[in-house]
Amino acid sequence: MIELQNVSRIYYPGKPNEQYALKDISLKIKEGELIAVVGKSGAGKSTLLHLMGGIDVADTGELMINGTEIKKLSEPELNNFRIRNIGIVLQNFALVDDYSVFDNVSLPLRFSTGCFSGKGKMKHMVMEALHRTGIEELERRTVNTLSGGQKQRVAIARAIVTQAPFLLADEPTGALDSKTSGEIMELFLRMNALGTTVIIVTHNYDMAAQCRRIIELSDGEIISDTGEKE
């Protein structure tokens, strides 16, 4: 479970241009949910995702993931916790262009400290992630030779390679055509059906409509939450 209690993220605190990116957010996300986070640009969607992913830190409030308050973890502890528990797909893919697909997907395993040992195990996990995202044949291709849709699949494969229970995706189809966007959404649906908790920040309301719960933000606050649909 991900639980936020009275969480705020403040930019330039105490200064004339102080701004609340998130304001007093309280939220519970159960394992196995499929959630869309929607709202206008600047509503706080990406900030919320970054806090849940341990990329950013709240200024006030508590954020617990499976009972662990991540703000209290040291940097090495947070790194290993994130690798084991959270897969993140960023807007710009954040891939290493001159690395192969295999090497990009294996990065979380290589940066972990003792979580996933052994070259054989690492290769098996990478190939499993490539299989789940349908890009096994791209294993040896360098990222800079791929299409946008292929790069997105590589980013998703890297996010799921550690088999983390939570997958967070920030505008995963923003730069893709409608056909490829539909394929990416189908991929998220399959992962969710296998038990992964999927949280998608999106401007795409067709994508959001396929999720079982929709959380809408405005000016850093939750203005609606459908709850999980049965």
pLDDT, average across residues 214-221? 96
Superfamily of structural domain 32-57+75-225: P-loop containing nucleotide triphosphate hydrolases (3.40.50.300)
Q: Are strands 197-201 and 213-218 parallel, antiparallel or unpaired?
A: unpaired
pLDDT value for 113 = 58
Angstrom CA distances, 158 to 19, 107, 127, 222, stand at: 33, 7, 11, 30
Calpha distance 184→176 (Å, rounded): 9
pLDDT value for 199 = 98
pLDDT value for 48 = 97
HSE toward the beta carbon, residue 97, CA cutoff 13 A = 5
At 176, the pLDDT band (50, 70, 90 cuts) reads confident
Angstrom CA distances, 228 to 53, 62, 215, stand at: 21, 22, 10
- Tens of pLDDT, residue by residue over 9-54, are 999 888 898 999 999 999 999 999 999 999 999 999 999 999 999 9
Examine the pLDDT at 115 and tell me if it is beyond 70.
no
- Tens of pLDDT, residue by residue over 84-107, are 899 999 988 899 999 999 999 999
At 79, the pLDDT band (50, 70, 90 cuts) reads confident
- Tens of pLDDT, residue by residue over 141-165, are 999 999 999 999 999 999 999 999 9
Angstrom CA distances, 169 to 67, 93, 119, stand at: 22, 10, 28
